[in-house]
Structure 1
Amino acid sequence: MSYPPPPRTLSGPRRRSLLASAAGAALLVGCSAGPDSAAGGTPSVTARARARAARDSEGLLERYDAVLAAHPALAEPLGPLRAQVAAHRAAFAGRTATGTQAPVSGSAGSAAPTAAAASSPALAVPAGEKDALAFLATAERSLADRRAKDLLDVPGELARLMASAAAAGAAHAYLLTEGAK
């Protein structure tokens, strides 16, 4: 009758000990700095992504304002969509529950068109209402696609915010397309 060989005695730390140590070290490093901080005082990837998302929302808001300035009759159907874009801009800009926020150009929480955006020479709004809605739908779709791609490169809460804004943008593009029919 043969017996199994005796258990081997390993020297050094076990795999579980190493994994637990690595996890503990990662937690300590993660807790030592805020999510948007970086060594050396430079903006972190998260802070840069958040600032870019706020600027992107600002640019989309300028498109809404330009369309509304050219086609005031669209104010009622575009109002709720524009308000959501303004809310996204405020969220990406770091608006808190108390109403304070990081500075972003324009009026971060305003649902009314800005005068600067309405008179922007860089935005050529189509003359027809259907074409103007398609113009907004294309901008919404493009931004939603970029945010869906970008959210893979940012951590936790910002990724969830970007996913939510991307989903809203895709829904806006659909509604704008359906409204143009």
Structure 2
Amino acid sequence: MTEEINQNYPPAYLKIDAATQASGFTMPSDPLTCSLLRTLAAAKPGGKFLELGTGTGLATAWILDGMDGEATLVSFDNDATLLAIAREFLGEDRRLSLVEADGEAWVQANAGQKFDYIFADTWHGKYLLLDEVLAMLNPGGLYIVDDMLPQPNWPEGHAEKAANFVKYLESQSDLLVSKLHWATGVIVAVKR
């Protein structure tokens, strides 16, 4: 067994990747993580999906590729330039709502919503407002985060913050947590 992705990439992925590189964005989601996101998305037919931190839409493309025709995805980011790339290549997908919003403001304004799948790819929902985002998860819902292994762009003190985050997730009695020492470091949790 190898880590090679031997299945088709989502149709828009290569175009988004080229636009991402041209934009100078240096924090794209790892393709291995994206492959897992697609696989897990397929396990939630008709589900309500949330992505915190669209970026340029690389991970978004994979999530959409795993979703069925009845599922919906809300994805937000506060960077209009990055969202423009996602809109260019994914904006016609009727299952997708791309939202330009500050993470804190969006989470607070949507606190009553419930989701079957949450990919937290930004500070909000991971290091900020974690309890509020976990409260949005339906029973049986998936909570997924990446970049949990040391990254070259981590600021001073971030390793401790990441370790504390993992300990906190593991302390939650309503979550079953698996830590994958793979790709950039992925955590998959399911709400009981």
TM bucket (normalised to shorter chain) is under 0.3
Give the helix-richer structure, 1 or 2: 1
Calculate the TM-score normalised by the size of structure 1. Answer: 0.24
Give the strand-richer structure, 1 or 2: 2
Which fold has the larger relative contact order, with Cα–Cα distance below 8 Å and residues 6 or more apart in sequence?
A: 1
Name which one, 1 or 2, has greater alpha-carbon Rg: 1
